[in-house]
Chains A and B, each alone.
Chain A
Amino acid sequence: MNEARTLNLRVQKAELISPSLKHVVLESADRSPLPSVGAGSHIRLSLCENNKKFRNAYSIAAAADDRSAYEIIVRRVEPSRGGSAFIHNTIKAGQTIEADYPGNLFPPSFTAQKHLLISAGIGITPFLSYLSYLRRTQAEVRLHHFCRLDELETFRRLLQPYSTGEVYLHPNSTKIDVANLLQSHPLGTHLYVCGPEKFMETVLGAAKTLHWPSSKLHSESFGGSHAGGAPFVAVLARSGIEVKVGEDQTLLEAIEAAGVEPPSLCRGGACGQCLTEIIDGRPEHRDHYLSPEEHNAGRAMMICVSRAKGNRITLDL
């Protein structure tokens, strides 16, 4: 399960669509058809700069119908862990990039009668693929997108192909009560949220307060928001080694750099593949997989996103 097959992609086009957003079209390097992807899929690119390797996942904003290309949009993050700076500074048309087979941890519900999409900033990317899929279905769709005032035009252009009365853009300068957007939806409505961690907490918190059932709440956070924190040491009990986890890398990345390859899949704290038992020490949980009870028990953690509380943690690896 850890040996995802790799795809060879070539950068067909890379252009800035705003000072910090880059639109990248990736085509199949050998022109064989790419795996077909559903709405909400992501692709993990292997990026390399200054001998440092990064494996960052990006939502596939659009996929060509003839399976020849995927499109992603990447925000330059400051400070960058490497991936976004690499995409912004280094990649050029013609260059090849290795990628894992695409995955999907954020598919739309196939039984929903109405889809309410709420995104902020670059969190729009999975919803671009949603919009092109959902307009071919019977279901009602409404999108609320929050963005910086200076990027309003950029997002308006991105959303133009889907523009109907049901796409609303909100510049952050105007105060909007999120709760108002969540009220009085029919029973068959599903809510999807994508954006920065704080934004998602606000929207999902408001939805819980308004008694949305958890089976109708869907969210996806970007990997980037999980990365980094105070450095610590991870002791791998079975392997008998100690791994230093730097402030700009994840626990999983540090373990892999030490030559140990625990099972993992989404690297976003969502899928549950990298669940690891804790022998000693306290975790700082950042995943969406374990329940609050499991977080409190502190017996296991998702090593792709979570870190140690304190300077040492011992794992059953």
Chain B
Amino acid sequence: MLSPTIPSRPRYSPFALAPAARAHLIVAERSDALENQSVPTGDHAPLEFWAVSGDCRAPVGDTILNGVHTCHFRSASHLLSRLSYRLAIEAIGLHLYVIGTESFIWDVVKLAKQFGMNSDEYHLTHRGSEKRRVYCIHCKTMTDDVTTNIAICAGCGANLLVRDHFSKRLSAFMGVQVDAEVAGEVPAIEEVYP
């Protein structure tokens, strides 16, 4: 579980279905996101589980796994693309559950908000690595999968200090050039976001 360092850091909760919904849609960054989780099906609302397999050879499409309507996608982009078509035709009463790393969570939330969902309609569970997506405040480039306190910007090559300031709008942490005063004066690089 992530421990918030500054008050504005988003907080996440363990996975649990909302007590009442017209329908439940769970989207996960990994297909094993629900392992060792019992998905209660007593509630009569339909439930679907969408997950990224991350494998170009794995079968994609709809199946029933352990009694749950399951759909696998080749990548997060593949899932997000399908999700936008789905949310466009969905109706009030849907609850959305997002399970994954922080950048995946907020990519889904951004889409949900675009379709008018409010925070009492989506539920966020952090699962997996704490690696960060970093936004270079200088050149606007996103650098993914950062696990260190200092990252090299994929756009302009700057040494970026990865701040704890997280933007929900950009689904990324702010990265600020750390050696702006004296070029090359960079603190020791450590792995801090495993």
Contact = CB atoms under 8 A, between A and B. Distances in A.
Contacts of A56: none
Contact of A214 (B87, B90, B120): B120
A167 B15 CA distance: 42
A162 B129 CA distance: 54
B153 to A, nearest CB: 33
Contacts, number: 51
B116 A184 contact: no
B92 A189 contact: yes
A211 B22 contact: yes
Q: Which 8 A-B pairs have the closest CB atoms?
A: A188-B116, A211-B93, A215-B118, A213-B120, A211-B22, A113-B116, A187-B116, A215-B120
B154 interface: no
Interface residues of B, number: 17
A111 interface: yes
A187 B119 contact: no
Nearest to A111: B116
A215 B117 CA distance: 10
B17 to A, nearest CB: 13
Interface string B108-144: 0000000111111100000000000000000000000
B118 to A, nearest CB: 4
B91 A186 contact: yes
Contact of B93 (A188, A210, A215): A210
Interface of A: 111-114, 182-189, 210-216
Nearest to B117: A187
Nearest to A183: B91
Nearest to B88: A186
Chain B contact surface mostly: loop
Nearest to A214: B120
Contacts of B20: 211
A215 B87 CA distance: 18
B22 A187 contact: no
A210 B92 CA distance: 8
A212 B118 CA distance: 11
Chain A contact surface mostly: loop
Contacts of B121: 187, 213, 215
Interface in B75-101: 87-88, 90-94
A211 B43 CA distance: 13
B117 A211 contact: no
A255 B112 CA distance: 48
A211 B21 CA distance: 5
Contacts of B92: 182, 185-187, 189, 210-213, 216
A213 to B, nearest CB: 5
21 contacts: A111-B116, A112-B116, A182-B92, A183-B91, A184-B91, A185-B91, A186-B91, A186-B115, A187-B92, A187-B94, A187-B115, A187-B117, A189-B92, A211-B20, A211-B21, A212-B93, A213-B120, A214-B120, A215-B121, A216-B92, A216-B118
Given A210-B22, A211-B21, A211-B22, A186 B90 contact: yes
